[in-house]
């Protein structure tokens, strides 16, 4: 997705909200190391982990702020080519989500994109199968990259679909 929309572009400014440990931004840096990134999270521990993960990259800025501080305009944000969030926005209520999406739209440049990678309920079984196939592939890729051997993508998906199976 990143390469499709941003291949050949220069001066790509990235905003990662609710960045957690920075894994998504790290993947984007691997796709294009000329990105300049701003990562925001409300948790000091997560920001510390993101700083450790991304210490090899040069154009990175970290801000401690909650979604509520972003929505209240307490954080100065610029204009970005790409705003991303992964597994964070689902913590917000529906009104906060709508406000955050509008806020992110106001910080995208003319050809910018917002990508929210999060948990959603699929509207059909066919889409659910497709979502889980994509997730299974991604889990396998990440587990190989980070040498995770104590889990299997199928086990994680089973536990996600049936939390009682975790006992």
pLDDT digits (tens, 9 = 90+) for 50-67: 999 999 999 999 999 999
Hey, what's the torsion of the CAs at 48, 52, 57, 60, to 10 degrees? 0
The pLDDT-based confidence of 95 (bands split at 50, 70, 90) is very high
CA 99 to chain centre: 18
Tokens (6 digits) for 150? 């104590």
CB 16 within 8 A of CB 84: yes
pTM of the predicted protein model: 0.77
Lowest-confidence pick of 30-44, 69-83, 85-99, 143-157: 143-157
Name the residue with tokens 């998906």.
Answer: 157
What is the pLDDT, as a whole number, of residue 135?
A: 82
Inform me whether the pLDDT recorded for 109 exceeds 90: yes
Q: What is the mean pLDDT of residues 123-144?
A: 86
30 three-class SS: helix
Specify which residues 104 forms β-bridges with: none
What is the pLDDT, as a whole number, of residue 146?
A: 82
CB 81 within 8 A of CB 6: yes
């Amino acid at each position: 997705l990143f390469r499709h929309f941003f291949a050949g572009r220069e001066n790509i400014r990235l905003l990662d909200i609710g960045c957690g440990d920075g894994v998504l931004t790290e993947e984007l840096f691997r796709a294009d190391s000329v990105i300049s990134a701003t990562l925001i999270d409300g948790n000091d521990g997560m920001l510390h982990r993101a700083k450790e993960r991304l210490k090899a990259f040069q154009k990175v800025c970290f801000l401690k702020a909650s979604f509520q501080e972003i929505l209240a305009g307490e954080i100065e944000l610029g204009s970005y080519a790409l705003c991303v969030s992964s597994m964070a926005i689902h913590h917000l209520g529906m009104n906060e989500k709508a406000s955050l999406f509008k806020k992110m739209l106001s910080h995208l440049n003319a050809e910018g994109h917002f990508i929210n990678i999060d948990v959603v309920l699929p509207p059909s079984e066919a889409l659910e199968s497709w979502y889980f196939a994509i997730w299974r592939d991604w889990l396998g890729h990440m587990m190989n990259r980070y040498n995770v051997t104590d889990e299997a993508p199928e086990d994680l998906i089973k536990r996600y679909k049936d939390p009682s199976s975790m006992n």
